[in-house]
């Protein structure tokens, strides 16, 4: 029988016990597919894409959310709360709906991609928009949850990081070993922290022969880990990673330094170009923030920081369908033609 979900698959490596409910929405077990075209263009031995947009709510957040929600249920909590640039709120809202919790999400007003906002609302969460960005929202909900009997499910909740590390396990299982390089977008820095933990855990236990170099991508207008200090008014087209003061800053720095990796900034133009090429050359539609992983890998290959001939994996953290507005700005509406074969043939020949 197929085993569904992160808790069932990795119970022995997660903070779960006999009283933890083994809930699932079917998260995890996402494909890691080879990107032949772009991999060859970069001169890599191989390039794989970890398709985290195929999780139930369309992003990697479900891996950590299932653990955080299971622990909240175990503790008897009735309300979960998060600040979010969108994906955390979509995931929290879906798990809360299914497992009988109240969900409150606090988002930057006007700063969340339309599909993500829609998800939170469709699943019945209370959605509150604040003036200011994600950093202000996170500060406010941390304070709120210190004072009220609510469970905070942002990645400052350690169960989130534990769940998210399972993606590193899956990569090792699917490829047979860890890659040389793991490229990943960095916003609040929970995910890079989680992957590094997962890779170290399997390596320590003899389940992989090497540790990857961790290569993190931040958007140039929201790159606190590159400039070395918090950024007051972060700005980028990649709204998911529009974060100026990452909560897991130290985890990201440790991942970078212990793995002899790097965290670099990529421009919005580089991000959108990487997103476009993933769509047109590899058939994968990820959201802009996710494409920062490929953009930073490409920049690192160009600069020589990553040598050709390496085996690389890019983590594509979320589905492109969540943020149709950003890409549609560069697209034309479909051309209208009469419904007859001759007209279709003329239009095709003229294209
Ligand atoms: C698609 O949903 O922070 O570095 O509130 O949605 O672990 O923060 C989302 C982050 C990358 C960055 N890619 O991961 C939120 C939120 C996508 C994301 C990131 C996010 P972290």
Question: How many Å lie between the centroid of ligand 1 and the Cα of residue 43?
Answer: 29
- Top mutation candidate among 92, 187, 249 for ligand 1, by most atoms within 8 Å of CB: 187
| Band of residue 99 on the pLDDT scale cut at 50, 70, 90 | very high
Question: How many Å lie between the centroid of ligand 1 and the Cα of residue 266?
Answer: 16
For 75-92, write each residue's pLDDT tens digit.
999 999 999 999 999 999
Question: How many Å lie between the centroid of ligand 1 and the Cα of residue 92?
Answer: 13
135 CB under 6 A from ligand 1? no
241 CB under 6 A from ligand 1? yes
CB 167 within 8 A of CB 159: no
Model pLDDT, residue 161: 98
Model pLDDT, residue 163: 98
Q: Is the pLDDT of residue 3 over 90?
A: no
Q: Report the nearest atom of ligand 1 relative to the CA of 82.
A: 5
319 CB under 6 A from ligand 1? no
Q: Is the pTM for the entire model greater than 0.85?
A: yes
Using alpha carbons only, how large is the chain's radius of gyration in Å?
20
91 CB under 6 A from ligand 1? no
Question: How many Å lie between the centroid of ligand 1 and the Cα of residue 247?
Answer: 12
293 CB under 6 A from ligand 1? no
Segments of 262-341 assigned E as strands: 262-266, 311-316
Average pLDDT over residues 112-133: 98
Residue closest by Cα to atom 9 of ligand 1: 240
287 CB under 6 A from ligand 1? yes
CB 316 within 8 A of CB 284: yes
Q: Report the nearest atom of ligand 1 relative to the CA of 88.
A: 2
290 CB under 6 A from ligand 1? yes
The mean pLDDT value of the chain amounts to 97
- Give percent above pLDDT 70 in the chain: 100
| Band of residue 121 on the pLDDT scale cut at 50, 70, 90 | very high
**Sheet strand arrangement including 311-316:** 32-34, 46-51, 311-316, 181-185, 213-219, 262-266
- Top mutation candidate among 87, 255, 285 for ligand 1, by most atoms within 8 Å of CB: 87
Q: Which residues of 282-315 are buried (b: 16+ CB within 10 A; e: fewer)?
A: bebbbbbbbbbbbbbbbbbbeeebbeeebbbbbb
Q: Report the nearest atom of ligand 1 relative to the CA of 84.
A: 5
For 258-288, write each residue's pLDDT tens digit.
999 999 999 999 999 999 999 999 999 999 9
Question: How many Å lie between the centroid of ligand 1 and the Cα of residue 202?
Answer: 24
- Give percent above pLDDT 90 in the chain: 98
Question: How many Å lie between the centroid of ligand 1 and the Cα of residue 333?
Answer: 30
Model pLDDT, residue 234: 98
For 10-27, write each residue's pLDDT tens digit.
999 999 999 999 999 999
For 300-337, write each residue's pLDDT tens digit.
999 999 999 999 999 999 999 999 999 998 899 999 99
Q: Is the pLDDT of residue 212 over 80?
A: yes
86 CB under 6 A from ligand 1? yes
Model pLDDT, residue 2: 76
318 CB under 6 A from ligand 1? yes
Residue 118's contacts (CB-CB under 8 Å, 6 or more residues apart) are: none
Region of 185 (left: φ > 0; alpha: ψ -120 to 50; beta: rest) is beta
Question: How many Å lie between the centroid of ligand 1 and the Cα of residue 346?
Answer: 45
Question: How many Å lie between the centroid of ligand 1 and the Cα of residue 338?
Answer: 44
CB 85 within 8 A of CB 107: yes
Model pLDDT, residue 169: 98
Question: How many Å lie between the centroid of ligand 1 and the Cα of residue 310?
Answer: 26
């Amino acid at each position: 029988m197929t085993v569904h979900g992160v808790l069932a698959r990795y119970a022995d490596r997660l903070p779960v016990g006999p009283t933890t409910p083994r809930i699932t929405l079917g998260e995890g077990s996402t494909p890691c597919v080879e990107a032949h075209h772009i991999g060859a263009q970069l001169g890599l031995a191989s390039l794989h894409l970890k398709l985290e947009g195929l999780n139930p709510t369309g992003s990697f957040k479900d891996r950590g959310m299932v653990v955080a929600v299971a622990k909240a249920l175990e503790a008897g909590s009735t309300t979960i709360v998060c600040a979010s640039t969108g994906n955390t709120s979509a995931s929290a809202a879906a798990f809360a709906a299914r497992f009988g919790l109240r969900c409150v999400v606090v988002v930057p007003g006007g700063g969340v991609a339309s599909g993500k906002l829609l998800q939170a609302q469709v699943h019945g969460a209370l959605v509150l928009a604040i003036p200011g960005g994600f950093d202000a929202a996170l500060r406010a909900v941390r304070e709120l949850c210190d004072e009220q009997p609510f469970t905070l499910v942002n990645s400052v909740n350690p169960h989130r990081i534990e769940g998210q590390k399972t993606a590193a396990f899956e990569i090792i299982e699917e490829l047979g070993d860890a890659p040389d390089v793991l490229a990943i977008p960095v916003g609040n820095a929970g995910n890079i922290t989680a992957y590094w933990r997962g890779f170290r855990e399997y390596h320590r236990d003899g389940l992989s022969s090497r540790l990857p170099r961790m290569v993190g991508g931040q958007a140039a207008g929201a790159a606190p880990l590159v400039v070395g200090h918090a950024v007051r008014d972060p700005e980028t087209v990649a709204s998911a990673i529009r974060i100026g003061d990452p909560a897991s800053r130290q985890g990201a720095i440790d991942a970078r330094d212990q793995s002899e990796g790097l965290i670099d900034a990529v421009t919005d133009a580089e991000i959108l170009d990487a997103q476009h090429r993933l769509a047109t050359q590899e058939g994968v539609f990820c959201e802009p923030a996710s494409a920062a992983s490929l953009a930073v890998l490409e920049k690192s290959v160009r600069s020589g920081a990553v040598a050709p001939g390496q085996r690389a994996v890019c983590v594509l953290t979320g589905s492109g369908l969540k943020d149709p507005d950003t890409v549609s700005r560069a697209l034309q509406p479909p051309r209208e033609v009469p419904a007859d074969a001759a007209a279709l043939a003329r239009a095709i020949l003229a294209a």
